[in-house]
Amino acid sequence: MNKGTPYLARQADATGFIQYPQEEHDIWGQLYARQAVNLPGRACDEYIQGLDALAMPTDRIPQLAEIDRVLLETTGWKTAAVPALISFGRFFELLANKEFPVATFIRRKEEFDYLQEPDIFHEIFGHCPLLTNPAFANFSHMYGKLGLAASKEERVFLARLYWFTIEFGLVQAKNEPLRIYGGGILSSPGETLYALSDVPERKPFELIDVLRTPYRIDIMQPVYYVIEHIDFLDEIARMDIMAAVQEARKLGLFAPKFEPKSKAS
């Protein structure tokens, strides 16, 4: 979150309205249309229910107030407009206050398929539908409070928990098909198809294992962790996560399943 970015968030006027140029609305519409085809049968039911509840526009970037009305009614959350990149401390603070950070810019056409920075499509389309779900919202709130109190070293381990759940989590109930709940997958056409293919490794969620698993943000994930149902996030929230962090620090990380960034093609 502390690296530079070429993107600048758009500022709201005195009424909270953000003016986007038409070409940016067009990009939103193209991204939305593509994922609307990819997600049926792949996204988890709770996400689809949240997407229906938000009823976000398909042809323009939604205003945050439109999203807030639904989130406040369902789980007491709201969005918070932020710059393209924020500190970990600010990120945790917002989650602890039930505010989900949304960078108010959208990717350029040349980065249509992949963007390292979380843009408004990633945040609103990828994450906000599940913030209407009580278990997902509660886990996000708990995570923010833990991170706010954690040390810099502990936050590195907590980042892996967020990565393999909120961003890149999969869910599979007994005798049911594998589904997606992670917003990093749901907002990515390529990873939506890849995550459910035969290529990556998938493991049952074990907290210590998740905390010990390295990841890279600029590649398709070689491994995903699978929970049995969305309500399992409530069970994770009741675990002694910080004790698990200390245990993971003692045990050390697993060997990465990818090449170092400098060597990867």
Residue 262 annotated among the catalytic residues of the structure: no
Check the annotation: does 127 bind a ligand. Answer: yes
Q: Are 21 and 101 in contact (CB under 8 A)?
A: no
Strand pairing class (170-171; 179-180): antiparallel
Check the annotation: does 167 bind a ligand. Answer: yes
Q: Within 10 A of 52 (CB to CB), how many other CB atoms are there?
A: 10
Rounded to whole angstroms, the Cα distance separating 227 from 94 reads 25
Residue 187 annotated among the catalytic residues of the structure: yes
Q: What angle in degrees, to the nearest 10, is found between the helix axes of 152-162 and 134-149?
A: 160
First to last CA, the chain: 23
- Which amino acid, residue 112? F
Check the annotation: does 229 bind a ligand. Answer: no
Residue 247 annotated among the catalytic residues of the structure: no
Residue 167 annotated among the catalytic residues of the structure: yes
Rounded to whole angstroms, the Cα distance separating 223 from 216 reads 11
Q: Which residue has the tokens 């007491």?
A: 76
Candidates 31, 39, 46, 33; CA nearest to 195 is 39
> Among 24, 167, 188, 191, which one carries the catalytic annotation?
167
Residues labelled catalytic: 122, 127, 167, 187
* Annotated binding-site positions for Fe cation: 122, 127, 167
